[in-house]
Amino acid sequence: MIRESKWKKILIVALYGLFIVCLPIFLCTTTARCAVNSIHLYEYGFNKYNVGQVTALDNTQLNEIATRLIYFFNSEVDTPQMRVTNIYGEEFELFHDYELTHLNDVNKLFRSNFLLQGISLGYIIVYILLFFLWIKGRWQDLAKGVTRGCALTLGVVAATGIAAIFFFEQMFIQFHLVVFPNLYWLLDPSKDYLIMLFPEGFWMDIAYFGVGAIIVEALLLGGLAWAVPFIWRKRHGQ
């Protein structure tokens, strides 16, 4: 009986730790998914980096390209390839074969992100149910776990953001070397439309936006999880 109680305590601690870890995973993957599906972020990059002038494609064509990529990353179309017509009336296929290969690799990465988002959200929901039905803990303790998860998120994301300010290019290159199985991400901005559409500066902006968004999310969620028990204790004189 004592041994069973000991193992139960160990299991409870492990489940609690995993719950805390799942919170930053969920916040980060959710933010990434929102960015992938935000047409406004694509349009922001096109406008800021004068992509229309660089590619000789008008805003209508650029919007269609962004929409096509969003559909592709959500498995609503089989390929990101499409025929476009530039401002000179020249019609052509947008991407080279190696660009399509890289986009397929990117798609796999995003699909993994979506899967990880679903798994982390699923665990969070299951843990909350277990917490009340099996562990029979107090909701204040659950709120404390949310606060700790958000604190972990802030620590990791803030450190990443600070590192990106000083070493973004090195981190960008290392990320590609680690994540992708080939070098098709090394593109020529004079002939490859993928890098014309999304230059390195665009990805730097996205990284900063993402870090900022995750920090705001963690502060709001963590602040709420901290404030509610605090107010409850104050009202009940504890």
State pLDDT tens for residues 42-82. 999 999 999 999 999 999 999 999 999 999 999 999 999 99
pTM: 0.91
Domain of residue 41: give its range.
Answer: 2-235
Tokens at 83, concatenated: 């025929």
- Quickly count: other Cβ atoms within 10 Å of residue 144's Cβ: 17
Count of residues making up the chain = 238
CA nearest neighbour of 188 among 103, 101, 98, 106 = 98
Domains in the chain, number: 1
For the segment 75-127, what is each residue's pLDDT rounded down to a tens digit?
Answer: 999 999 999 999 999 999 999 999 999 999 999 999 999 999 999 999 999 99
> In the chain, how many H helices and how many E strands?
8, 2
DSSP state, residue 91:
E
CA distance linking residue 184 with residue 149, whole number of Å: 37
